[in-house]
Structure 1
Amino acid sequence: MRSYAPAEASERTGLSLDTLRYYERLGLYGPVRRTAGGKRIYTELDVAWVRLLVCLRQAGLGITDLQRFMSRLRDRSNDNADVVELLESHRARLRAEVAKVNLALGVLDGKITHYRTQASANGPGDRSGS
């Protein structure tokens, strides 16, 4: 399995070294292996987990949600129903936000079309209809 130095892991995940260490300290992934000299060595699996965390953060999950997500994944006494429930709940919130954004985009598109049509009807340089 390939391994990466911290700077390389940072580049592959898009996170700063401080954020990588912060996520590890919070138990969101890892623990990361270390060299005999104590330097962190990130595996492909570490990088994959961090990329998943980045995706979930971009989808709007907060740190507490991520901690709950990881805790539920690590708890092998269940059938992952808790994980599915957490993700489905967040997906529903995200879809509601997307619907609001789509509505706002529709209004903006309508206004853009209206004002472009108005500007075309008035001719170039004619500001009397504004």
Structure 2
Amino acid sequence: MYSIAEVSKITGLTTDTVRYYEKIDLLPPIRRKTNGHSIYSDTDLQTFLLINCLKKTGLSLVEIKPFLSLSMDTNIEDHPELEAMISNHKNHIEHQIAELQKVLDFIEVFFSKKNTGEHCHTQNQSA
């Protein structure tokens, strides 16, 4: 079992974010100590980590919420609307990666030319 501070440290989420996710029902009801403090389980911790992962792909919390109701052994094919959404999102991410790779390639070429003394010059340079 984990305190909110431990969840925050492990996941990198602020305690306010942990409380917010709980408030908007991204997690099942959280157990509480007799003093009212939340106690988070390993499953809750895994849910926070999954939310982090999906957020990094650009999904909103609204888009993430349906995935949280699925268990790890759920066949995604039984949920065609979610399968289509994640497939489209995967394609979008792959496109973003390809575009970022082009940027990296450009930067590498730029710096390799700079290091070899080749520079781009404009015709109309003013002094």
Q: TM-score range by the shorter chain?
A: 0.7 to 0.9
Letter in 2 for 1:12: I
Q: Does 1:17 align with 2:15?
A: yes
Report what 2:49 is aligned to: 51
Structure 1 length normalisation: TM-score? 0.78
SS of the residue aligned with 2:22? helix
Give the match for residue 87 of structure 2: 88
Q: Is 1:100 the counterpart of 2:99 in the alignment? A: yes
Alignment identity in percent?
30
Task: State how far apart, in whole Å, the 1-side matches of 2:92 and 2:107 are.
Answer: 23
After superposition, give the CA deviation of every residue in 1:3-52 in whole Å (9 maximum; x if it has no partner).
11111111111101100111111221222111122110000000001101
Q: How many residues align?
A: 113
> 1:35 is matched with which residue?
33
> Using the alignment, how far apart are the partners of 1:85 and 1:23 within structure 2?
25
Contact in 2 for aligned 1:10/1:20 (Cα 8 Å): yes
TM-score by length of 2: 0.79
Which residue among 48, 57, 60 is the counterpart of 2:58? Answer: 60
Tell me, which stretches of 5 or more residues in structure 2 are unaligned? 72-76, 119-127
* RMSD (CA atoms): 1.9
Structure 1, unaligned runs of 5 or more: 120-130
Q: Given that residues 26 and 67 in structure 1 are in contact (C-alpha distance below 8 angstroms), is that contact kept between their aligned partners in structure 2?
A: no
C-alpha separation in 1, matches of 2:54 and 2:22: 16
Q: What is the Cα deviation at residue 81 of structure 1?
A: 2.6
User: 1:29 aligns to what SS in structure 2?
Assistant: coil
Question: 2:67, 2:82 within 8 Å by CA — same for their partners in 1?
Answer: yes
Output one character per residue of 1:62-117: Cα deviation in whole Å (capped at 9) or x when no partner: 2221134336x39xxx9233332222111111111111100111111111111111
